[in-house]
Amino acid sequence: MAINKIGVLGAGTMGAGIAQVCVEAGYTVVLVDIAEDFVTRGVNGILKNWDKAVSKGKKTAEEAEKYRSLISTSTDNNTFKEVDIVIEAIIENINVKQKVMKELDGICGPDTILATNTSALSITEIAAATSRPGKIIGMHFFNPVPAMKLVEVIPGAETAQATIDEVVDLSNKISKEPVPIKESPGFIVNRILIPYINEAAILYQEGIASAEEIDKAMKLGANMPMGPLALADLIGLDVCLMIMEYFCNEFNDSKYRPSLAFKQKVRAGHLGRKSGKGFFDYNN
């Protein structure tokens, strides 16, 4: 089955980024979220990226105009009736993801692939809520999506080889590098990255060094493009905490214990860039 029309569910940072790279590859995209405000914010973010690219001379105004014409928006999941694949990028909660996948299963045609951008959860468990486990797959993008080359492609226990092949092909067509991997909590990148960030948060909590010093050390001493605590703020401290708690439960191993710094900041509502404050302050 050829993929022509793509549905993206969730117009937050990840969903908007996914929609952007899909239209830039020439696909028609319908971007859906539960409220008009969320969809508008997502599209405005995409338009801002294109404005920047035009002013840098990386894209022409005509290209930006053409891309814009390929995106439509909605707040109704029934809009996904006609798409060939839906890429879900909503909240990281297994109950919500299962509920939404079950709903999409009832709406979409039988050949439609339902992909999830989950950052750690079980594809098999998400697929179990649907009547099409062969067509459910993990398609994990990285933030900021337009700049990050990798897509982890994760089959669940019953995902068909044809579905894996389609998603690998789509990833290549949207100029990403797909890495197909077996299902395991956090896949490859987050299994390594989130405990690394957690260790930085533990150092911070212990008062060994300031957030600035920890990040400076990792940038200058390990050539990281950004420090671990700024990266935590970019990912979202609620997401980092959720992933560490998931690892702790899934592996039943205390080496994945989340840092108190994550817990306190999340409890205070300091979630990182998206709330204006995390390890660093983004209000100015």
Which residues make up the interface to ligand CAA (CB under 6 A)? 49, 56, 58, 119, 142-144, 146-148, 190, 193, 225-226, 231, 235, 239
* Beta-sheet strands, E only, within the chain: 5-9, 28-32, 71-74, 85-88, 113-116, 136-140, 150-155, 177-180
To the nearest whole angstrom, how small is the minimum distance from the Cβ of residue 77 to ligand CAA?
A: 23
Residue 41 CB coordination number (10 Å) = 15
Relative to beta strand 136-140, strand 150-155 is: antiparallel
Relative to beta strand 5-9, strand 28-32 is: parallel
Please tell me the distance from the alpha carbon of residue 182 to that of residue 44, in angstroms, as a whole number: 36
- Residue 103 vs 183, nearer CB to ligand CAA: 183
To the nearest whole angstrom, how small is the minimum distance from the Cβ of residue 239 to ligand CAA?
A: 6
Q: Which residue of the set 88, 92, 140, 275 is catalytic?
A: 140
To the nearest whole angstrom, how small is the minimum distance from the Cβ of residue 142 to ligand CAA?
A: 4
Q: Which residue of the set 49, 117, 119, 275 is catalytic?
A: 119
- Residue 140 vs 277, nearer CB to ligand CAA: 140
Q: Which residue of the set 117, 122, 190, 198 is catalytic?
A: 190
Active site residue 140: yes
Q: Are 241 and 260 in contact (CB under 8 A)?
A: no
Active site residue 172: no
Report which DSSP code applies to 269.
T
The residue whose Cβ lies closest to ligand CAA is 119
Catalytic residues: 119, 140, 152, 190
